[in-house]
């Protein structure tokens, strides 16, 4: 087989392999809960619980998680975990990721929200990825608004 034919055959295999990666529906990732962790110094730490749903037929294997949380268009927290696992096809799993809020980011949020007004309709954005090797990394995002209930007047 000539070098040209071998090159064309390999190129066709690469293109066919790349086309098999397309057509996957995005993961659905929702914030399922938060639990406080012990922090050091001026940092605040939480464990974020993420519910990850896989709307695809094939399972997704991951080997690490990274995420960033923005509130009111400002960075608030970030976290990573070397936790690995599998999200079954048409299945879901709960992933826990420790995140850190620096004192500076908390102060910046307080300054931006200022005025003592109730926290209503504050936009948030959650972005991250499930690590899965060279072509298996799956990115995710979630956005919405946070509204904390106003304190009740007690008689």
Across the 155 residues of the chain, what is the mean pLDDT of every consecutive 10-residue run? Answer: 70 60 81 87 89 94 94 90 95 96 78 63 90 84 74 55
Break the chain into its structural domains and give their ranges. 24-144
SS (H, E, C) the chain: CCHHHHHHHHHHHHHHHHHCCCCCCCCEEEEEEEEEECCCCCCEEEEEEEEEECCCCCCEEEEEEEEEEEECCEEEEEEEEEEEEEECCCCEEEEEEEEEECHHHHHHHHHHHCCCCCCCCEEEEEEEEECCHHHHCEEEEEEEEECCCCCCCCC
Q: Does the predicted TM-score (pTM) go above 0.75?
A: no
Please name the CATH architecture into which domain 24-144 falls. Sandwich (2.60)
């Amino acid at each position: 087989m000539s070098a040209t034919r071998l090159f064309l055959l390999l190129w066709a295999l690469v293109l066919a392999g790349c086309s098999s990666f397309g057509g996957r529906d995005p993961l659905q990732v929702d914030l399922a809960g938060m639990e406080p962790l012990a922090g050091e110094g001026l940092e605040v730490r939480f464990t974020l619980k993420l519910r990850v749903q896989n709307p695809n037929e094939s399972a997704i294997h991951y080997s690490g998680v990274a995420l960033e949380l923005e509130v009111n268009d400002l960075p608030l927290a970030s976290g990573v975990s070397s936790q690995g696992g599998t999200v079954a096809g048409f299945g879901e799993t709960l992933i826990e990721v420790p995140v850190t809020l620096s004192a500076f980011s908390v102060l910046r949020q307080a300054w931006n929200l200022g005025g003592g007004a109730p926290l209503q309709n504050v936009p948030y954005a959650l972005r991250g990825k499930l690590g899965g090797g060279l072509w298996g990394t799956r990115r995710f995002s979630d956005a919405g608004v946070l509204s904390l209930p106003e304190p009740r007047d007690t008689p």
